[in-house]
């Protein structure tokens, strides 16, 4: 692979953001969620951040945003057809991440063992 054509950064740029992976996970799990439902699933996120992250995912075509013109407002989010192509990427990253957590855990254990001996 030529370094000039490395597109890992491109994928990274879509996924980085403190809340994007968890937002995507909820949408993959639940299918469709209202803004308020997402907010309830992630109590620590502020409305501003939730809005921002959703907008960014929307401009990248990863998620669909449907506004129901009514009062009170109702906005539903879901993974777009195109966005579903992200599933395998997220899976691979999740699995490697799990393995890595375990790896670093065991490393710490070994170090503690050395110290106590």
Partner DNA sequence: CCGAATCCCACAAGATACTG
Partner DNA sequence: CAGTATCTTGTGGGATTCGG
Collapsing DSSP states into helix, strand and coil, what is residue 69? coil
**56 contacts a second copy (rule: CB under 8 A):** no
**48 contacts DNA (rule: CB under 7 A):** yes
Among 5, 44, 69, 81, binds a second copy (CB under 8 A): 5
Q: Which helix (H) or strand (E) holds 55?
A: helix 47-59
Burial of 23 (0-12, 13-18, 19+ CB in 10 A): buried
Residue 15 CA, chain-centre distance (Å), reads 6
Among 55, 96, 108, 109, binds a second copy (CB under 8 A): 96
Residue ranges in contact with a second copy by CB under 8 A:
1, 3, 5-12, 14-16, 21-22, 25-26, 29, 41, 60-61, 82, 85-86, 88-90, 92-101, 103-104, 107
């Amino acid at each position: 692979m030529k370094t000039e054509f490395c597109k890992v950064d491109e994928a990274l740029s879509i996924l980085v953001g403190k809340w994007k992976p968890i937002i995507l996970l909820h949408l993959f799990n639940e299918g469709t969620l209202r803004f308020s439902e997402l907010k309830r699933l992630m109590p620590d996120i502020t409305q501003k951040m939730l809005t921002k992250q959703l907008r960014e995912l929307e401009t990248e075509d990863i998620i669909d945003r449907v506004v129901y013109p009514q009062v009170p407002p109702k906005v539903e989010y879901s993974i777009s057809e195109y966005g579903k192509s992200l599933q395998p990427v997220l899976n691979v990253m999740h699995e490697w991440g799990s393995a890595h957590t375990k790896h670093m855990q065991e490393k710490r254990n070994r170090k503690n063992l050395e110290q106590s001996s």
